[in-house]
Amino acid sequence: MDVRTLADRELAELPLIDMTEWLARKGEHDPTFRLVANEFGVVTTLLDHGYYIEASERIVPLLGMKVPAAFHRLGLALEVKANGKKAAKRRFRSFSPAVIGHADLSDWRNAFKWDKTWLGLPLVVALGLVALAFWPDSAPPPVTPTASDERVMTVTEDEALAKRLEELEQEVARLEEANEALQTEDETDETVASPEAPAVIPLSKVETLVSDKRYEEADALLVGKAKAGQEQAVGFYRLLVDNKLGEAEIDDYAAYVDSYPESGYKADVLWMKGIAEKKAGDDTYRTTLAEVAAMDGTYWAPIAKSVLEEE
């Protein structure tokens, strides 16, 4: 099946209501899932309005958690709609072997002409050998999930590249021949960043640190270049971290909205702008919060209405 056809089918058939309810139930006992349940509501709202790029960006942190395979299928479908087949295949390769080999992702393996026994190791080896020239050696190895668990852990591309050198060297000889045979035509155009290239900001790690309120650590990671398609999300987290560290200016929020007027994070940014204006004694905050209150379906809309009504 063609990748784009598969993506359209997934978006039409995936049980988004059931997925939302599953996250809500998990959130009753786990604060982390409570946060992503709210975020997933934003994803579905963006999807309903055809904002595939923003929806694809905002689902990334959820793909790094223990969730049913349906969420990974949705993440792939959104990336196809947002950035095309090659980008979706890169996201597919970033999943752990347990996720890639999951029975529910068989259609995606077929669409990408993926050999289940390979599980992407040759390309990881090739990328890892170059990346380790400037990658810290202290990164922990990813946690390997149990094969029987339907909700499996994923690892990001950043974590995959951080595997220790000795592990990669053991794989090189065995996988060299397989790598040549299994390269598909759409992989030949991809290039590996040189050590001189700016570091790519690990968005999922930043989001996790922000969720844990470890803002100084998140700030340290927000240096470098945003991955293609993640510019809006990285810009938002830069603002959010600066806000928490007391370093954001009102003009920074306005500049973000001007740069990304259709961003899925617009309500979040306007909320921070309105509160900053209120603290600064600027009466413009009423206009800003009124704009947020009018954004029905967003997390901050009812809160902004409540603030305005209490005055």
CATH number at residue 232: 1.25.40.10
Range list of H helices, 95-214:
97-100, 106-111, 121-131, 157-161, 165-182, 203-211
Domain-terminating residue out of 187, 222, 239: 187
- Domain contains 195: no
Shared-domain flag, residues 51 and 147: yes
- Domain contains 196: no
Burial class (CB within 10 angstroms; exposed 0-12, middle 13-18, buried 19+) of 56: buried
Domain-terminating residue out of 163, 187, 211: 187
Q: Residue 208: left if φ>0, alpha if ψ -120 to 50, beta else—which one?
A: alpha
Report the pLDDT value the prediction gives residue 127, as an integer from 0 to 100: 44
Shared-domain flag, residues 86 and 226: no
DSSP annotation of 152 reads B
- Domain contains 24: yes
Task: With beta carbons less than 8 A apart as the criterion, state whether 52 and 78 touch.
Answer: yes
Shared-domain flag, residues 168 and 235: no
Q: Which two tokens stand for residue 98?
A: 């347990």
Work out the pLDDT band at 265, boundaries 50, 70, 90. confident
Shared-domain flag, residues 294 and 171: no
Share of the chain above pLDDT 70, in %: 72
- Domain contains 194: no
Q: Which residue has the higher pLDDT, 117 or 48?
A: 48
The mean pLDDT of the chain is 77
Work out the pLDDT band at 7, boundaries 50, 70, 90. very high
- Domain contains 197: no
Shared-domain flag, residues 156 and 34: yes
Question: What is the pTM (predicted TM-score) of this model?
Answer: 0.42
Q: What are the tens digits of pLDDT across the range 66-96? A: 899 999 999 999 999 999 999 999 999 998 8
Shared-domain flag, residues 218 and 290: yes
Q: Alpha-carbon dihedral of residues 139, 140, 145, 151, nearest 10 degrees?
A: -60
Q: Which residue has the higher pLDDT, 163 or 299?
A: 299
